[in-house]
Amino acid sequence: MAKPKVPGMFKGLGVTFATLLATAKNGADTVQYPHEKETPPIRARGVIALHEGNCTSCMLCVRSCPDWCIYIEGHKELAPPRRAGGAARKVNKLDRFDIDYALCMYCGICVEVCPFDALFWSPEYEYSETRIADLLHDKSKLGEWMQTVPEAPELEAGAEKKGKK
């Protein structure tokens, strides 16, 4: 037997009043932001961190960025040969690595495309500025974000680790 139908209007009144009582009793579903903070999930796209040592300034991230918000400058340097008597190696030295977070749209293509694991997502989100120019994070600032990058989650059972063994 179907329940007698309550007119939608009274049902709505019931819902709002029940929510009112529940909020008064159990507290709100929201948090009072500056005083209490929710920890974002570890895969949250908060800010991009740079592991400078891994960057070879290959420019893949710059070229794949839809917003053109990454700026890289580098120069070649001669490094000592690996074996005695060999020719000196040429390595790319990173002079500048800037991400303009005023432009960034957090698509994460640069993190995906980086072949040397130099870019990471960090869930940190509190880096608003009063001047828009301050949203341009330079190499050292991007390096500091590395502290906040969480450990990569465990691979699923049976998953194979990519890359060189």
Partner 1 sequence: MNAVLLSADLPYWAISLLRVLGGLVAVLLPAGTVVYLFLFKMLSFMQSRLGPMEAGPYGSMQLFAEVGKWLQKEDIVPASAQPEARIFKMAPLIVLASTFLLVVVVPFGPDAWFTNFETGIFYALAVSSVSVLGILIAGWSSANKYSLLGGLRAAGQLVAYELPMVLAVIGVVIQAGTMNLQEIVVAQNAGSMFGWDGLGNPYVLTQFVAFLIFMISVQAELSQTPFDMPIAESELVSGYMTEYSGFRFLIFFIGEFATAGVFAMIASVLFLGGWGVPFSWFGWTTIDSIDNWMNVAGPLILFAKMMALVFFIMWIRFSSPRLREDQLQRFAWKVLIPISLVNIMLTAVLKVAF
Nearer to partner 1, 29 or 154 (CB): 29
The least distance separating partner 1 from the CB of residue 19, rounded to whole angstroms, comes to: 5
The three-class DSSP label of residue 70 is strand
Least distance from C-beta 38 to partner 1, angstroms? 14
The vertex-64 CA angle with 60 and 65, nearest 5°, equals 120
Closest approach of partner 1 to the CB of residue 153, in Å: 31
Cα atoms found within 13 Å of the Cα of residue 31, Cβ hemisphere only? 8
From CA 56, how far away is CA 65, in angstroms rounded?
17
Contact track, partner 1, 1-20, x by CB under 8 A: --------x--xx-xxx-xx
> Least CB distance from residue 5 to partner 1, whole Å?
17
Nearer CB in complex with partner 1: 22/132: 22
CA distances from 110 to 12, 58, 59, 65, 115 (A): 48, 12, 10, 6, 10
28 binds partner 1 (CB under 8 A): yes
Cα dihedral 40, 43, 47, 51, rounded to 10, equals 130
Q: Which residues bind partner 1 (CB under 8 A)?
A: 9, 12-13, 15-17, 19-20, 22-24, 28-30, 32
